[in-house]
Structure 1
């Protein structure tokens, strides 16, 4: 590698090095919940449903007050007594051209203030509002479930970033160690203890290591940007992520996932109750006051008021209430079946994850032991290089093998953390 190219590589790697800023998993999961459109939509839908409860209470229990106004002009052409004349408001014409006075009343002049007050309607308002209260609870449950989903996705992505960082840290250590070894071998080449080809092999390995380091830094940048996207963070700054060590959560006593089925069942019952409202008697108080006239000259004497009661009570509609109850019962059975099916599947799912995690302890222990042995071996090789007793090829082969074990160990640790995250997700 030429000196110019070497400077370009070092400059590129330096520009990709994470900044000193530190962020932890909690920062990303909290921001993800705050910025999730699905969580935000369900929060607002829950609020809207509670507002609808207030509207229904007003609709069923509060008086409805309004103004009714009508002006109807129905003139005729009268031919009574042999005289033809235009009458805007006929009082008692017998022979005429125009709308039948009995049908049109000769016109109408109406301006009234009306009031309709539902009576004894508090139970009806409570039943109608219950449906939207349950809907609000469903939205709250969806907020929790959506936030839980987002948290799992963000945590998985965070673990992927941690895996990249582990590889970067290890290659960073090599990038600091190999130049020292090159300088030592160069002196030994000058002393004819090692060949020029040995130095060339070290140079090639160093260049290969720089390329790998650049690849992992690029991967970290990509994965970190994906983490920002999942969290809804508008930021392209490179930061250091604090390490995490997830632990298995205790067995959940009451699963939040099962709350969904409980609320679905309650919603079906609420819908049935709302449907049956029309079979309850409805009594309204009706009142009005104002003008109601059909003959213009008598308008001043046609100011008055009226009050009355209206009762609505359905008697028969083809047994629709019973049919709808049967439908609701069928749907309730479907909810119960889905709930039990989820319980069965989730029990097996969690057992599978725990069984898989059981093998990771031994695998991690073996990998750590191998890394420790390689570290001891490399330290011994460094001493042998000083005296020219070790082949550079053997040293580089051992270095590559350790790098492979380090990569596998980082992957193993990440997979274990992802499995723990999956178990904690379902054990909730």
Structure 2
């Protein structure tokens, strides 16, 4: 296969790839964020936990109602030739079949505290779900930025190859006309071949980054797509929002709820009960042993070795721990937001200088291209101009990636 045929094959491959990407459907960041949330088993797990907490609330309310149970017990203690249990104690045999009703008269506040505990648990699950959602969004956005950058790298490399291919055709003619030396043409040809390899490497990198994006979002898709510009904007708020500190509020509410539960455990308990059915030893007129009974139970704690005071002490320590973590986190979050905001501002200041460098590099390429047409430029100088332009473009792209990642971090913490 001669050199001309090789270039023809590469041209066909290159422009067919460009055409395929141009005709590919465009998908934006919102699409992947929605798919990731829809497919996430973790978020589905939290949704089920939320529903389960609602069922726990119904169960707690049900325990506040009268409890009805049916019970039955039978016993037979034979006495054989005078050997056996004392019939005075056992009555020889007994049968019991009762319907029991129990109701706690002083359980309203205790049940309300239990319902409050379930609500706090539900709030904790809701917070954990939202935190997991934010973490998933941050991961998706970071990967989308990488994939979009890889896509931009592919497009840029295609553009450089196209430029070099145009110059290669002209340079070949000038070399045949002895305006340029064969060695200069070969030097330019090596640069073109290196750029063609960079195109293939960029395509592989984009495929890997795009596959990782689909993996994180739970999407089984191998079709070619065009990623839209993410267009991220940093939030304008400069104050620490309440989302991340909400977990400390929930912990404080848990301590209050546990304190109330301790208090209710030391309050008097009063219950009533009633039963009816059959209860007989079969000794005397067993057919008359149908009946009923009512009664009450009452208890009040008097002394347990000061356990209540000890449990209070544990809750005080837990409250102090929560306060310490909250204060530390609030300071760290504010410092982190200030640092990220400063990095974004410093990054924004680089764009004007980089764009200026790109403009001069591109202008130099245009001038050098005209000089090459007349044979008044060394090929090595043109290659240097191309490399400088590529380096400036790569710097712009990398700076933009860093800026988008910083914005993603800022938006994550500034909630």
**TM-score with structure 2 length normalisation?**
0.93
Residue equivalent to 1:151? 137
Aligned to 2:248: 261
Shift of residue 10 of structure 1? Answer: 5.9
Instruction: Identify the match of residue 39 of structure 1 among 17, 40, 43.
Output: 43
Q: Partner residue of 1:383?
A: 370
The answer as to 2:319 corresponding to 1:327 is no
The Cα of 1:188 is off from its aligned counterpart by: 1.6
Query: Are residues 11 and 138 of structure 1, via their aligned partners in 2, closer, same or farther at CA, if it must alter by over 3 Å?
Result: farther
Q: Deviation per CA, 1:84-122, whole angstroms, max 9, x where unpaired?
A: xxxxxxxxxxxx321101221211111111111222422
Aligned to 1:105: 91
Q: 1:8 to 1:187 in 2, by over 3 A?
A: closer
How far apart are 1:138 and its partner, in Å?
A: 0.7
Distance 1:182 1:116, change over 3 A: same
Could you say which residue in structure 2 is the equivalent of 1:311?
A: 298
Contact 1:109 1:292 in 2 (8 A): yes
Q: Residue in 2 aligned with 1:91?
A: none
Equivalent in the alignment of 1:55: 59
> CA 1:358–1:99 in structure 2 vs 1: closer, same or farther (change >3 Å)?
same
Tell me how far apart the structure 2 counterparts of residues 375 and 268 of structure 1 sit (CA, whole Å). 66
CA shift digits 1:234-265 (9 cap, x unpaired): 22333211012222202256321011110111
Q: Is the 8 A contact 2:91 2:283 kept in 1?
A: no
Structure 1 residue runs of 5 or longer lacking an equivalent are 79-95
* Cα distance change, pair 264–119 in 1 and its aligned pair in 2 (3 A): same
Deviations 1:27-72 (A, max 9, x none): 112222233333332222222122212211211x112112111111
SS of the aligned residue for 2:185 comes to helix
User: Alignment partner of 1:287: what SS?
Assistant: strand
- Alignment length (residue pairs): 410
Query: 1:207 Cα deviation (Å)?
Result: 1.3
Please state whether the residue corresponding to 2:285 is helix, strand or coil: helix
Looking at structure 2, the residues matched to 394 and 71 of structure 1 have their Cα atoms a distance apart, in angstroms, of: 107
- Aligned CA RMSD, in angstroms, stands at 2.1
Deviation at 1:368, TM superposition (A): 0.4
1:306 shift after superposition:
0.9
CA distance in 2, matches of 1:238, 1:278: 65
Q: Is the 8 A contact 2:241 2:414 kept in 1?
A: no
1:69 pairs with 67, 72, 83, which one? 72
Length-normalised TM-score, structure 1: 0.90
1:413 aligned partner:
400
User: Hey, what's the Cα distance between the residues in 1 that align with 2:53 and 2:90?
Assistant: 47
Q: Is the 8 A contact 1:108 1:293 kept in 2?
A: yes
Report runs of 4+ in structure 1 exceeding 3 Å deviation. 1-19
Q: Specify whether residues 288 and 160 from structure 1 end up closer, same or farther in structure 2 by C-alpha distance, changes over 3 A only.
A: same
Q: Is the 8 A contact 1:291 1:299 kept in 2?
A: no
Change (3 A) 1:99 1:351: same
Question: In structure 2, what is the Cα distance between the partners aligned to 1:390 and 1:63?
Answer: 100
Pick from 233, 247, 254: which aligns with 2:233? Answer: 247
Identify the match of residue 368 of structure 1 among 335, 351, 355.
355
1:136 to 122, 125, 131: 122
Equivalent residue of 2:304, what SS?
coil
Matched, 1:237 2:257: no
1:162-181 superposed Cα distances (whole Å, 9 cap, x missing partner):
22122111111122222211
Task: Confirm or deny that 1:206 pairs with 2:192.
Answer: yes
Q: Report matched runs for 1:391-410 at 5 Å.
A: 391-410=378-397
Partner secondary structure for residue 80 of structure 2: strand
The answer for the alignment partner of 1:221 in structure 2 is 207
Q: Distance in 2 between matches of 1:8 and 1:310?
A: 95
Distance in 1, matches of 2:12 and 2:110, equals 74
- Matched residues in 2 for 1:260 and 1:398: separation? 56
Can you list the C-alpha shifts for 1:179-207, whole angstroms capped at 9, x where unaligned? 21111112222222222233322322221
Contact conserved, 2:75 with 2:95, CA < 8 A, in 1?
yes
Contact 2:49 2:125 in 1 (8 A): yes
1:189 partnered with 2:194: no
| CA drift at 1:290 | 0.9
After superposition, the Cα gap between the structure-2 partners of 1:378 and 1:111, relative to the gap in structure 1 and judged at 3 Å, is same
Say yes or no: does 1:342 pair with 2:332.
no
CA distance in 2, matches of 1:154, 1:317: 56
Return the offset for 1:299: 2.3
Q: Which has the larger radius of gyration?
A: 1
Check if 1:298 corresponds to 2:285: yes
